Structure 1
Amino acid sequence: MYAQLWRDDLPDDPIADAPHVGIGPRIPTVSGLVQLIAAATEVEPGRVDQLPAES
């Protein structure tokens, strides 16, 4: 698994087509990916785990 994250608070970013954070390329578990996303975004892991269900 991997993740590519874009910031939504930079509307005038000249490189908006490119992800701002790339995690991977091979993270073997969902829980590992959640932990890395939480660290990169400074969001609690439990909150990161809930976000896909909310979108």
Structure 2
Amino acid sequence: MTVKTFATAGLLLFSVVALSSCGNTIRGMGKDTANTVNATQDAGRTVQKAAK
């Protein structure tokens, strides 16, 4: 195998790893956002109950 083949394979492997880690980060941010929305809605319900 030539150096060019090794370099191409290494770049491809690096790209796959980098893109998969980005996907995990985006998925985690989505979960965090959903949890924030849920917590805000729960707090609103608590305030509404307290006001009655």
Per residue, is there more strand in 1 or in 2? 1
Per residue, is there more helix in 1 or in 2? 2
Q: TM-score, normalised by structure 1?
A: 0.27
- Structure with greater contact order relative to length (CA < 8 Å, sep ≥ 6): 1
Q: TM-score, normalised by structure 2?
A: 0.28
